[in-house]
Each structure stands twice: as C-alpha cells, then as structure tokens.
Amino acid sequence: MSRKRLLGGALLAAVIAFALLGPLHGADPLRQNLSDTLLPPGGAYPLGTDHLGRDLLARLAAGAQLSFGFALLAALAAAVPGILLGLVAALRGGVLERLLLGLADAVQALPGLLLVVLFTAFAPGEFLPLYLGLALSLWVEFFRIARNGAAAVMARPQVQAARLLGFGAGHILRRHLWPEVAPLAATLFAFAAGTAVTTIAALAFIGVGARPPVPEWGSMMTELLPYYAEAPLALLLPAILIFTTVLGLHLLAGRERA
C-alpha cells in the first residue's frame, strides 16, 4: 500500500478506536449539568463540556458511532443495488439496460443534496428518510461504474469465447466481470462514505437532519456556534473529527501509482 493509503487507514482507525473506546469513559452523552457549562479539558471532563454541561468526550464518541456508522450504512445500501443493477444491465443489455439507464438519468437530474432534503422533509429529524435519500442519491454512481466497466469487459475476446462455449452468466460474472469492477467499486465506496459523512453533518448543521439533543457532529456544531468565543475548542472538535474522517476515506480511496 502507498503511504497515502496507510495514512488514510491510520486516520480511519483512529476515528473508529475513538468511537469504540470513548464510551469506556462512562459518561452519559445526554446528561446535563448546568453548573459545569463550557469547562475546558481536564479533570472529570477530558475534552471539556458544552453549553449545557454535557461531557464532550462522550458526545463526540457517540457522534462518531452515529455519523461514521450511518455513512457506511448509507454507502453500502447504495453500493449493493447500484453494482448489481449495473452488472445486470451489462450482462442482459437490450430493453432492460435502456430502462435502467433512463432511471439513472432521471435520478441524476436532481442534485443529490436536494434529493436528500426532499426525503427528510417528510419526517424532519428522523433517520430513515435521511438514510433512504442518501442511498438513492448515491446508487447512480455505483450503477454507472459497474455498468461501464462490465460493458468494456463483455467486449473482450475471452468473454465472447466463454459465451460461445456455453458458460453461463454466473461464470462470466465471477471470473471476468467482478474482478474488474470490484477495485473501482471499493474506491467509489470510500468516496461515497465521505460524501455521506459531510452530507449528514451539513444537513444537521442547518437543522434538517439530526436534531438536538442527538449527539451528531453537525448538530453539535450548530449548538456550540454561539459560544465560539468562549469555548473555541468545543466548536472545533466535531469539525476536526469530520475533517479527519473524510480525509481518511479520500486517502484510502486514492489510486496506487504505477
């Protein structure tokens, strides 16, 4: 692996370790203590407290589980149908391929963020519409990558020979299409997860996605923004975690140099 991918993997491992080990601190991310508002790091609060006296370490760790885990789930929900439909379109061709391409064009005609906002408008603050909107906006890229890569492989002589010899679609998929599409899909998955992280945070920041008191990085920034002069570190911490997560995903997705 290149140094960039190693660095990306290390950054993601640090975020995951923080998400998993943070709860060992034992503090409740929702418990308020108005006598301990906006405390600096130290003592019983290793990362300080917010404007309601809630432990920032506990809230940031819970936010890591929510934001990063939710982003991976949304990217996975987009990747599985997108890749499968792309492979089916390349294998079958004809009317089915044209219908799927038309569906992908129709979805892509709407900006992805607008599509997510439309879904969340039906149930503000709920995660299911946000999850569905993200998956629906992200699957098109997986579909196009899988379909274009598989279509190029289908035109190769060895695939044509396999079809003439009577090998079925399953054999062609396993031996020829999937080895070609898998690396591209893995790279795109990392980028899609990074997009999901920033989208979730951005929507929560403007009050569309997760809402207080849910410990989500974007909503935490919204709550702490009026107190940036008194506790700048409290506002910077969720932003640093978002930046670290997205940077790690992008570095991990980078291609190796020849």
- Average pLDDT rounded to a whole number, residues 87-98: 88
Residues with Cβ within 8 Å of residue 158, at least 6 apart in sequence: 176
182-215 residue pLDDT tens: 888 989 999 999 999 998 888 887 777 777 788 8
Burial 54-75 (b: 16+ CB within 10 A, else e): bbbbbbbbbbbbbbbebbbbbb
**Residue 128 pLDDT exceeds 70:** yes
Burial tier of 123 (Cβ tally within 10 Å: 0-12, 13-18, 19+): exposed
Q: Where are the beta strands (DSSP E) in the chain?
A: none
- Average pLDDT rounded to a whole number, residues 1-14: 89
Least confident of 3-12, 139-148, 155-164: 155-164
In a 3-state reduction of DSSP, which class is residue 55?
A: strand
Contact 246, 256 (CB under 8 A): no
- CA torsion 103→106→112→113, rounded to 10°? -130
Q: Where are the domains of the chain?
A: 3-21+52-253
What topology does CATH give the domain 3-21+52-253?
Answer: MetI-like fold (1.10.3720)
> Is the omega angle on the peptide bond into residue 179 within 30 degrees of 0, that is, cis?
no
Ramachandran region of residue 166, left (φ > 0), alpha (ψ -120 to 50) or beta? left
Q: What share of the chain is helix, strand, coil (3-state, %, to 5)?
A: 75, 0, 25
Output the CA–CA distances (angstroms, integers) from residue 77 to 58, 70, 74, 186, 192, in the order listed: 28, 10, 5, 14, 11
19-44 residue pLDDT tens: 998 888 888 999 999 999 999 998 88
For residue 257, the model assigns a pLDDT of 42
Contact 20, 13 (CB under 8 A): no
What's the chain's average pLDDT? 87
